[in-house]
Amino acid sequence: MSNFQIKGLANYKSTYQKSVDDPKAFWDAVAAENFVWQKKWDKTLSWDFEKPEVKWFEGAKLNITENCIDRHLETRGDKTAILFEPNDPNEKALHISYNELSDRVNRFANVLKSNGIAKGDRVCIYLPMIPELAVAVLACARIGAIHSVVFAGFSSTALATRINDSDCKMVITSDGSFRGDKTIDLKSIVDDALLDCPVVATVLVAKRIGSNIQMKDGRDKWLQPELDAASPICPPEVMDAEDPLFILYTSGSTGMPKGMVHTTAGYMVYTAYTFSNVFQYQEEDVYWCTADIGWITGHSYIVYGPLANGATTVMFEGTPSYPDCGRFWQIVEKHKVNQFYTAPTAIRALAKESLSNVSGHDLSSLKVLGTVGEPINEEAWHWYDEYIGKQNCPIVDTWWQTETGGILISPIPNATKTKPTYATLPLPGIQPALFDENGVELNGNNQEGRLCIKHPWPSMARTIWGNHNRYRETYFSAFPGTYFTGDGALRDEDGLYRITGRVDDVIIVSGHNLGTAPIEDAINEHLFVAESAIVGYPHEIKGSALYGYVTLKDTVGDMSEEELKTEINALIAKLIGPIAKLDKIQFTNGLPKTRSGKIMRRILRKIACGEMDNLGDISTLLNPEVVESIKESALV
Ligand code: WT7
């Protein structure tokens, strides 16, 4: 096990200080002492935030799967690596040992090879939360193929966009998935997507629900017979430190989703380091993160971080409310979970239900509780602390992003203190800073501004796939010389950070990052829609919900407003996914615009939040009169 785990406040302080005084020496030691390398690096770090270009551990050779699997076989071969808990509580859980994981990953890696996948090729993975998902990810890494996992809740259009953006040669999917009492027909979604994806030559299909699906001759293959026929030995590909490990798409405020590129060595070092420290994982612990591997949280803190530490990591296929709202707590009890990591939206949803869902379960195994994805409100924080942690488990409110690869700001249990709604302090190696709108750094405490990071850390995304310019524009142009996160934050009198939310047009709904522009584009495709604008408003469970202002064309045939609303949401579900459907739709005669024709979302946001009397100066608008009529028929 690693020797980089911080113990206590004094240790945190001295470690943090070292990491800031000499970042290279700090990461040099962490990397050298805790991982297996085929060759050590020549240079720990080179960076230039203007270009921008960041390289960690240049010259090193490694394979991340040797660190996540092979090196554990001698000492932990029989230890459970992945503990799979199925959707249906009556189906048996599966304990996959490190030995078995090795067998599965090696076979799968050979199947990829025999189907023409080589180092550097992109492979799209569109799977539910079943073991094959984690195994497919690791199999790609084993042979140096770049995985692009697409969350299996995205629509066929969204899937096709992502497949084509990175020219994936293969798609790995399943016949279908279980979700609560429903099944979802994943394979037909893939079939629809592939009508527009000329580069995909092979589709590997895992069997999960046993449905009767179409297999396309020469393209589609059942996975299991391929695995059975494959050798269980596949030597790890020798990778350079900066070879891409994966691409993961995240929404931007405008345009196409951004394919964030993460590279091998830095990502491995940072996710392993932060997993160990933030969760204070001990050898016998059972760790459970409820995220989906389709998001960065699952990549870093279900798969890579835990496995690099030789941990037991739970993979849960189902939902928090099936068969009832006690499901999470039943699983905690059943598997004696020690660290539990979930999203505020799940906490809020469960806190609304009867406490009897919780009280029937023995939660005494829990040691650390985590939250991620959006700001956690005070009420949810206290409910989590009191009813789940029994005021005996530190809550780690972990702030980070798809782009950051790993957790940047979070308490460390039993070292740094927690404070409701605060992500608190930067982890070692992280140098946050706040800037005002004019780009002036706000020094000292009691400040609120835009959150930036001044020095590179090992797991930061290196580029946007195929669009380095956009990478520079999005993250390195607003505050030159620093990485801009897109979030606002405040620093209290003790220097603790509280994330206040996005300062751009990204809205976080139930922890899902949604850009407004792609949703508006989807709505505008409707034959009768002239224009639309989406804003977020506070929602009790989801954190933020979506409010759409839609201006119709003159001709809408004989459609009623209700029919139009249904069609608009169906269109969004088709083009993006059900997660982006609007909670409220208001039809308007126009949208407030500046004289240069830009929609004034600030005003629309206030109206959606019910702050009608506080719209500020609207006299400079091109069409101030439309504001009055929008206010009158607002849905608040
Ligand atoms: C955005 C990134 C990181 C994994 C899941 C989301 C928001 C994330 C917190 C937190 C307040 C948070 C930020 C960030 N966010 N964690 N603990 N407190 N806000 O990844 O989809 O890339 O979204 O999520 O606004 O920028 P993502």
Which residue's CA lies nearest to atom 11 of ligand 1? 375
DSSP-derived secondary structure letter, 409:
B
What's the pLDDT score for residue 375? 87
Percent of the chain, pLDDT > 90? Answer: 89
**Is the pLDDT reported for residue 619 higher than 80?**
no
- Report in angstroms the alpha-carbon separations of 330 from 444, 542, 600: 46, 23, 47
CA dist., res. 279 & res. 341, Å (int) = 9
pLDDT single digits (tens) 286-339: 999 999 999 999 999 999 999 999 999 999 999 999 999 999 999 999 999 999
Q: In which band, very low, low, confident or very high, does the pLDDT at 553 lie, cut at 50, 70 and 90?
A: confident
Helices (H), 439-546: 468-476, 516-524
**29 residue type, one letter:** A
Which residue's CA lies nearest to atom 2 of ligand 1? 401
Burial class (CB in 10 A: 0-12, 13-18, 19+), 459: buried
**600 residue type, one letter:** M
How far, in Å, is the centroid of ligand 1 from the Cα of 418? 18
Most informative mutation of 151, 248, 372, 544 for ligand 1 (most atoms within 8 A of CB): 372
Tell me the CB-side half-sphere exposure of residue 271, using CA atoms within 13 A: 34
How far, in Å, is the centroid of ligand 1 from the Cα of 475? 15
- Report in angstroms the alpha-carbon separations of 594 from 131, 194, 580, 597: 52, 41, 27, 5
Query: Residue 270's closest CA among 462, 128, 48?
Result: 462
CA dist., res. 56 & res. 24, Å (int) = 9
How far, in Å, is the centroid of ligand 1 from the Cα of 593? 30
250 lines ligand 1 (CB under 6 A): yes
How far, in Å, is the centroid of ligand 1 from the Cα of 558? 43
Which residue's CA lies nearest to atom 18 of ligand 1? 375
Query: Residue 582's closest CA among 596, 566, 598, 595?
Result: 566
260 lines ligand 1 (CB under 6 A): no
Strands (DSSP E) found in 108-266: 122-125, 146-149, 170-174, 177-179, 182-184, 202-206, 220-222, 239-240, 244-250, 258-263
**60 residue type, one letter:** A
CA dist., res. 507 & res. 595, Å (int) = 26
Tokens matching residue 123 = 């492979």
Rounded to the nearest 5°, which phi and psi values hold at 31? -70, -40
Between 400 and 505, name the one with better pLDDT.
400
Between 2 and 52, name the one with better pLDDT.
52
CA dist., res. 609 & res. 586, Å (int) = 13
CA dist., res. 521 & res. 210, Å (int) = 37
Per the CB < 8 A criterion, the answer to whether 269 and 427 are in contact is no
CA dihedral 285, 288, 293, 299 (to 10 degrees): -40
Determine which helix (DSSP H) or strand (DSSP E) holds 122, and give its type and residue range.
strand 122-125
Between 251 and 11, name the one with better pLDDT.
11
CA dist., res. 320 & res. 358, Å (int) = 12
Rounded to the nearest 5°, which phi and psi values hold at 148? -130, 95
**Is the pLDDT reported for residue 515 higher than 90?**
no
397 lines ligand 1 (CB under 6 A): yes
Query: Residue 452's closest CA among 432, 474, 470, 437?
Result: 432
CA dist., res. 240 & res. 232, Å (int) = 24
How far, in Å, is the centroid of ligand 1 from the Cα of 374? 5
343 lines ligand 1 (CB under 6 A): no
Per the CB < 8 A criterion, the answer to whether 484 and 475 are in contact is yes
CA dist., res. 472 & res. 266, Å (int) = 20
Q: Is 249 helix (H, G, I), strand (E, B) or coil?
A: strand
218 Rama class: left (phi>0) / alpha (psi -120 to 50) / beta: left
Q: In which band, very low, low, confident or very high, does the pLDDT at 2 lie, cut at 50, 70 and 90?
A: low
pLDDT single digits (tens) 439-473: 999 999 999 999 999 999 999 999 999 999 999 99
To the nearest 10 degrees (0 to 180), the angle between helices 23-34 and 264-279 is: 90
373 lines ligand 1 (CB under 6 A): yes
**Tokens 């101030």 identify what position?**
624
Q: In which band, very low, low, confident or very high, does the pLDDT at 503 lie, cut at 50, 70 and 90?
A: confident
Q: Quick one: three-class SS letters along 579-601? A: HHCCCEEEEECCCCECCCCCECH
- Which range, of 14-28, 167-181, 258-272, 523-537, averages the lowest pLDDT? 523-537
What's the pLDDT score for residue 3? 84
Give me the long-range contacts of 23-27 (CB less than 8 A, separation at least 24): 23/429, 23/455, 26/428, 26/429, 27/56, 27/269, 27/429, 27/458
Query: Residue 86's closest CA among 2, 177, 175?
Result: 177
Which residue's CA lies nearest to atom 21 of ligand 1? 513
502 lines ligand 1 (CB under 6 A): yes
**What pTM did the predictor assign?**
0.92
CA dihedral 17, 20, 26, 27 (to 10 degrees): 140
Which residue's CA lies nearest to atom 8 of ligand 1? 373
**Tokens 């009623």 identify what position?**
560
Specify the domain boundaries for CATH 3.30.300.30 within the chain. 506-632
pLDDT single digits (tens) 112-132: 999 999 999 999 999 999 999
Rounded to the nearest 5°, which phi and psi values hold at 81? -90, -55
What's the pLDDT score for residue 253? 67
pLDDT single digits (tens) 207-225: 999 999 999 999 999 999 9
Determine which helix (DSSP H) or strand (DSSP E) holds 75, and give its type and residue range.
helix 73-76
**Is the pLDDT reported for residue 622 higher than 60?**
yes
Give just the sign of the alpha carbon dihedral 611, 616, 620, 625: positive
**Tokens 């700090």 identify what position?**
26
DSSP-derived secondary structure letter, 334:
H
DSSP-derived secondary structure letter, 140:
H
CA dist., res. 604 & res. 593, Å (int) = 11
Specify the domain boundaries for CATH 3.40.50.12780 within the chain. 2-427
pLDDT single digits (tens) 29-70: 999 999 999 999 999 999 999 999 999 999 999 999 999 999
For β-strands 447-453 and 483-491, DSSP reports them as antiparallel
CATH topology of domain 506-632: GMP Synthetase; Chain A, domain 3 (3.30.300)
Most informative mutation of 267, 374, 464 for ligand 1 (most atoms within 8 A of CB): 374
**Tokens 């009492």 identify what position?**
181
For β-strands 239-240 and 220-222, DSSP reports them as unpaired
Rg over alpha carbons for the chain, rounded to the nearest Å, is 24
402 lines ligand 1 (CB under 6 A): yes
**380 residue type, one letter:** A
Atom of ligand 1 nearest to the CA of 291: 5
504 lines ligand 1 (CB under 6 A): no
CATH topology of domain 2-427: Rossmann fold (3.40.50)
For β-strands 512-515 and 506-509, DSSP reports them as antiparallel
How far, in Å, is the centroid of ligand 1 from the Cα of 142? 29
Q: What average pLDDT does this structure show over 382-386?
A: 97
What's the pLDDT score for residue 616? 81
**Is the pLDDT reported for residue 554 higher than 90?**
no
Q: In which band, very low, low, confident or very high, does the pLDDT at 599 lie, cut at 50, 70 and 90?
A: confident
